[in-house]
């Protein structure tokens, strides 16, 4: 039977989120919240799951779900959105704060070796894992660009890359560095569309090895290279700097030196772009993401990023908020992930087990709802910057070049 405090908590969540749902207790008793059929039903199989939820809030509930002590039937995205709308994800409590601090001690990116291990824990899962649910063939694992009329994930990712190329005015004679190049999607698209040359920088061994083979397979060794190194290891200066989805991996205390490295990679007078997930305001990074998905990851505030750019001698030319574009990107990933899960599981049943599936669907669907939330403070920014102040001759006075017709 439901205790009165638990009943009041559930009813309060339903009222704040204006959502109908049901909860089934370990003894089989059922409690409905709101009028009408439930949008989703949460079933607690054990008393331990109840205790974890009561003491650790959403982290306790999610951990119990990962361990199959809790099941969710119905609209899973609505369940996650309900918790966010009701502020359930903000009721973390002291235990979660302590765990987040301990996590930072164990997984800090201060040491490049730790940073590499953190990156490989996520990005080193293999091309076979990522290919089924990312766009084909670029495999861009970052927010797409969905202006009106965009019809597919593939189109959104091509448009994102083309948007970035226009922002930094990438030309055939330019040589760029792609910091955190992933599977090389930006490099291949830039080479195909513009004919430019560049270097990819990546700390994940598995991606570097695959990308080197792919560059060779395409016969592009003379124009594209990939270097396995930490993002802070500056080798030379480039005409253009591209950083798409890398800054979030700088770590909690490494933002100044990573921004400084971005500046050092850029030639005087050059242009660059920072595409990153950032907070509006200073907040702790969600423990679930750090614990289960991105060890060592840290979401900085937009304000702190701009301060560090100023300290590094960079002029901010343009800031665009693409928060609304991340939800459809994540929706597409989540749909494909669910569709192709049987094929993914066959790759390595021991690694890609039911717990892994539950963690990743929570990550993909939950992040979609987070970016969709009107009350969210997590956004997606693109900052265009120059090294030194631009002149009317070196950078357009208007914004027309950002929105040329798509081809």
Segment 68-126, tens digit of pLDDT: 999 999 999 999 999 888 887 666 567 777 887 887 878 888 888 888 999 999 999 99
Indicate whether 241 and 334 sit together in one domain: yes
Indicate whether 53 and 146 sit together in one domain: no
Indicate whether 14 and 132 sit together in one domain: no
Q: What is the CATH number of the domain that holds 53?
A: 3.30.1050
Indicate whether 50 and 143 sit together in one domain: no
Does some domain include residue 296? yes
**What is the pLDDT at residue 403?**
85
Number of domains in the chain: 2
**What is the pLDDT at residue 360?**
98
Does some domain include residue 391? yes
**What is the pLDDT at residue 406?**
52
Question: Which residues share a beta bridge with 224?
Answer: 198
Residue 198 to residue 363: CA distance in whole angstroms: 32
Question: Which residues share a beta bridge with 266?
Answer: 238
Q: Which of 91, 122, 153 is the last residue of a domain?
A: 91
Does some domain include residue 96? no
Q: For residue 80, what are its two tokens? A: 């996650």
Residue 195 to residue 237: CA distance in whole angstroms: 19
Indicate whether 10 and 147 sit together in one domain: no
Does some domain include residue 98? no
**What is the pLDDT at residue 93?**
64
Indicate whether 173 and 216 sit together in one domain: yes
**What is the pLDDT at residue 107?**
81
Residue 134 to residue 153: CA distance in whole angstroms: 8
Indicate whether 303 and 168 sit together in one domain: yes
Segment 251-287, tens digit of pLDDT: 888 999 999 999 999 999 999 999 999 999 999 888 8
**What is the pLDDT at residue 123?**
96
Does some domain include residue 195? yes
Q: For residue 226, what are its two tokens? A: 């990939």
Does some domain include residue 99? no
Which of 156, 395, 176, 179 minimizes the C-alpha distance to 275? 179
334 phi/psi in degrees, rounded to 5: -65, -40
Peptide bond into 256 cis (omega under 30): no
Indicate whether 245 and 123 sit together in one domain: yes
Indicate whether 273 and 364 sit together in one domain: yes
Q: Which of 57, 91, 125 is the last residue of a domain?
A: 91
Q: What is the CATH number of the domain that holds 255?
A: 3.40.50.150
Indicate whether 192 and 222 sit together in one domain: yes
Q: For residue 235, what are its two tokens? A: 């080798």
Does some domain include residue 49? yes
Q: Which of 61, 91, 121 is the last residue of a domain?
A: 91
Q: What is the pLDDT along the chain (407 residues), one digit of tens a residue?
A: 556 566 667 777 777 778 899 999 999 999 888 888 999 999 999 999 998 988 888 999 999 999 999 999 999 999 999 988 888 766 656 777 788 788 787 888 888 888 899 999 999 999 999 999 999 999 999 999 999 999 999 999 999 999 999 999 999 999 999 999 999 999 999 999 999 999 999 999 999 999 999 999 999 999 999 999 999 999 999 999 999 999 999 888 899 999 999 999 999 999 999 999 999 999 988 889 999 999 989 999 999 999 999 999 999 999 999 999 999 999 999 999 999 999 999 999 999 999 999 999 999 999 999 999 988 899 999 999 999 999 999 999 999 888 866 54
Does some domain include residue 325? yes
| Structural domain harbouring 72 | 4-91
Question: Which residues share a beta bridge with 368?
Answer: none
Indicate whether 124 and 46 sit together in one domain: no
């Amino acid at each position: 039977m439901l205790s009165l405090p638990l009943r009041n908590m559930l009813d309060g969540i339903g009222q704040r989120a204006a959502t109908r749902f049901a909860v089934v207790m370990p003894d089989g008793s059922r409690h409905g919240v709101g009028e009408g059929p439930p949008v989703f039903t949460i079933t607690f199989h054990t008393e331990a799951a109840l205790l974890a939820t009561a003491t650790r809030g959403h982290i306790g509930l999610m951990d119990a779900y990962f361990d199959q002590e809790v099941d969710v039937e119905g609209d899973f995205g609505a369940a996650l959105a309900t918790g966010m709308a009701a502020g359930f994800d903000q009721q973390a409590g002291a235990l979660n704060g302590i765990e987040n601090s301990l996590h930072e001690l164990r997984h800090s990116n201060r040491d490049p070796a730790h940073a590499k291990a953190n990156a490989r824990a996520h990005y080193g899962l293999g091309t076979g894992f990522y290919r089924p649910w990312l766009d084909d063939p670029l495999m861009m694992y970052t927010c797409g660009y969905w202006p009106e009329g965009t019809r597919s994930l593939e189109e959104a990712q091509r448009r994102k890359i083309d948007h970035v190329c226009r922002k930094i005015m990438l030309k055939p004679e330019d040589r760029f560095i792609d910091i955190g190049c992933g599977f090389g999607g930006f490099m291949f698209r830039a080479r195909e569309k513009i004919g430019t040359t560049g270097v990819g920088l990546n700390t994940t061994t598995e991606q570097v090895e695959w990308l080197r083979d792919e560059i060779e397979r395409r016969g592009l060794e003379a124009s594209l290279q990939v270097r396995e190194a930490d993002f802070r290891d500056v080798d030379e200066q480039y005409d253009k700097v591209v950083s798409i989805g890398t800054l979030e991996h700088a770590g909690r205390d490494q933002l100044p030196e990573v921004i400084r490295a971005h500046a050092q990679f850029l030639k005087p007078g050059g242009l660059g772009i920072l595409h990153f997930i950032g907070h509006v305001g200073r907040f702790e990074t969600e423990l679930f993401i750090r614990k289960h998905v991105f060890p060592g990851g840290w979401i900085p505030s937009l304000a702190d990023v701009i301060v560090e750019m100023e300290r590094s001698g960079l002029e901010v030319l343009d800031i665009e908020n693409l928060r609304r574009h991340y939800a459809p990107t994540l929706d597409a990933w989540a749909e494909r992930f669910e569709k192709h899960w049987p094929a993914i599981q066959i790759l390595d049943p021991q690694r890609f087990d039911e717990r892994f599936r539950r963690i990743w669907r929570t990550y993909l669907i939950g992040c979609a709802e987070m970016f969709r939330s009107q009350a969210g403070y997590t956004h997606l920014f693109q900052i265009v910057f120059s090294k030194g102040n631009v002149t009317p001759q070196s950078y357009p006075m208007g914004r027309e070049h950002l929105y040329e017709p798509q081809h």
